[in-house]
Amino acid sequence: MNNSLKKSRLYLLGLLPFFLIAFLFEILPLANIVVESFSKTGGNGFTLEHFFKIFTTRLYQQSIFNSLWISIFSAFIGIVIAFLGAKAANAASIKIRNIFTSVLNITSNFAGVPLAFAFMILLGNVGILTLIGKNYGIGFLADFDLYTINGLLLTYIYFQIPLATLLMLPIFGGLKKEWKEAVGILGGNSFHYWFKVAIPSLLPSILGTFSVLFANSLAAYGTAYALLSNNIALLPIRISQQYVGEVVQNQEFGCALSLVMMALMVLSILITNKLQKRATGGRS
Amino acid sequence: MKTKTHVWDVIILLLIAAFLILPLALTFFYSVFTQWTDILPTGFTLSFYAGIFSDGAFINSLLRSIIISFVPVVICTISILLVLYVITLYVPKMEKYIEILCNIPYAIQGVILAAGVISLYSGKPGFLSNRIFLLVGAYCIIILPYVFRGLKNTIGALNVQCVIEAAQVLGCSKFHAFFSIVIPQMKRGIVSTMMLAFTMLFADFVVVNMIAGSSFRTAGIYLYQTMSKSGQTSSAIIVILFITTLIISTLTMIIQNKQTVKGRKS
């Protein structure tokens, strides 16, 4: 217990607030989710009944399926649009590119409940485009049903585009003009250039972007909740329903659902890492 | 090779920009007209904005949003600065463990974090089940990865060891040197990180809805409750919230740009 030793360790106090917060609101809740998912409802004792229920009940199977489906599709379509956008912006003049980037930056803030509302006045039952469709006999506008999983997909694609394009823009800066010229000298056309040179070299970054977008839509809640309330089979909605709302609440079951969602999240990160390694592995 | 803008590129950019701007612009127009039953709206009015600002409930919810977003940002920033003090000057080995802790929130986004926090603390005695306390704690975790990365990049751009050694030669303690020399140099980085974190929390709906619900009405919750009552009032609220976010994020970008310019000069 000598004094200088005590004094020299005093700096460790600096870690205290951080560890306190991380322990109380990250480690403990996380550990608790794992423990409670295997606990009987309202009591103690080990059980697998929650997971059995999740994987055998139609509603929860559908929720997992829908969550994966909407996340994969919105991420994929988002990437395709972002690819075209970033490619066009990269080829455009600096002035146009700056304006485009500003639009992306501004609209990337538009998500959640406000986004759902904007789509309601655009394409809802009495939405403006819906009315125009009805008045002028444009079938696909008049009959568009926003309050379905396809309608939800459209709103998800909306919030994926700015994020995806902002992530893809810097990647395109890495493509060298010499490559295109080299392909030309070797007798290739722009098809060869894009599919044999450019896209393979962009692939690791595209996969990274895909992973970010996937997680982004898997965790999205506000838009779906504002649009469809609890009337949709989607993982985040089913989880929150176990804690708020009029249905009988079941905390342990909510934890089990959360654990499933977390597993999907981690799985997507691991798969992307693996694919990224394979995509870069061949060349480096 | 000269770059020239192709027509196709411009068309693609225009289409994407139009799709992105349409819902946003429409929400704005919706908030300043009384009727919209054909292509063009009729009856220009600002009464919905006047209504919102004379409604104390909205102002209160906005203030609640600002405070509940600001407090966790301050707590989280101070905690991370202290951590950086310890790991840059005393135990660099610890950095990788801290980094893992700061990256876990990516996997427990939104609904999972809220579920974990309520499952654990609801019904517990004393301050632990206080909804505001839980909300502040959960918010600290949401922004943790972003605050950590932002501040770490800022401190990484400075030559901390050198500055501290110079200060010690002049008879200044490490602690004093860190907080009176290093941190003031990080000012811009700290401010822009804090603003980014603030806009993230300001836009939150899922965590506040699950942890506090209607017992703590933030602007997001207020908007959700207004949606079923009045379309125009809701769109006016959206416009106000959106402009608030826009101002903060524009300021953040200005600060960040100045920082990089300054960094390049030196």
**Residue pLDDT, tens place only, A2-44:** 445 445 678 888 899 999 999 999 999 999 999 999 988 877 7
Residue A51 has what pLDDT? 94
**To 10 degrees, what angle do helices A149-172 and A94-107 make?**
140
CA distances from A162 to A86, A227, B252 (A): 11, 21, 18
CA nearest neighbour of B80 among B164, B165, B136, B140: B140
Whether residue A65 has pLDDT greater than 90: yes
A175 touches chain B (CB under 8 A): no
Residue A226 has what pLDDT? 93
* Residue located via tokens 């489906």: A69
Report how far apart the first and last C-alpha atoms of chain A are (Å, whole number): 54
Tell me the average confidence (pLDDT) per consecutive run of 10 residues in chain B, 266 residues long.
67 94 92 77 83 88 94 96 91 91 90 93 81 94 95 89 88 87 90 92 92 87 88 91 90 80 56
The 10s digit of each residue's pLDDT in A122-165 is 898 888 888 888 888 887 888 888 999 999 999 999 999 999 99
CA distances from A219 to A224, B195, B258 (A): 11, 23, 34
Domain ranges of chain B: 1-45, 55-265
Nearest by CB: A11 against B12, B90, B253:
B90
The 10s digit of each residue's pLDDT in B20-71 is 999 999 999 988 887 776 677 777 888 888 888 888 889 999 999 999 999 9
CA nearest neighbour of B116 among A251, A170, A15: A251
3-state secondary structure of B44: strand
Residue A276 has what pLDDT? 82
Residue A1 has what pLDDT? 43
Q: Which residue has the higher pLDDT, A283 or B152?
A: B152
A11 touches chain B (CB under 8 A): yes
On whether the pTM is more than 0.95, the answer is no
Cβ pair B1, A177 in contact under 8 A:
yes
Whether residue A247 has pLDDT greater than 70: no
Q: For residue B44, list its beta bridge partners.
A: B33
Amino acid at A194: W
Residue B1 has what pLDDT? 40
- The mean pLDDT of A223-251, rounded to a whole number, is 86
The 10s digit of each residue's pLDDT in A214-235 is 999 999 999 999 999 888 899 9
Q: How many residues does chain A have?
A: 284
Which residues from B are below 8 Å from A240, CB to CB? Answer: 111, 114-115, 206, 209-210
- Structural domains of chain A, ranges and CATH numbers in brackets: 44-281 (1.10.3720.10)
Nearest by CB: B119 against A33, A114, A262:
A33
Which residues from B are below 8 Å from A244, CB to CB? Answer: 209-210, 213
Q: Domain B55-265 is in which class?
A: mainly alpha
Cβ pair B197, B68 in contact under 8 A:
no
Residue B40 has what pLDDT? 75
Whether residue A121 has pLDDT greater than 70: yes
Contact partners, residue B128, CB within 8 Å, separation at least 6: B121, B134
Split at pLDDT 50, 70, 90, the class of A245 is low
Residue B173 has what pLDDT? 86
Residue A284 has what pLDDT? 44
DSSP annotation string for B191-232: HHHHHHHHHHHHT--HHHHHHTGGGS--HHHHHHHHHTT-HH
Residue A282 has what pLDDT? 53
* Closest chain A residue to the Cα of B236, Cα to Cα: A114
A101 touches chain B (CB under 8 A): no
A88 touches chain B (CB under 8 A): yes
CA distance A252 to B118: 11
What average pLDDT is seen over chain A? 88
Nearest by CB: B20 against A107, A177, A251:
A107
Nearest by CB: B115 against A165, A215, A243:
A243
ipTM exceeding 0.85? Answer: yes
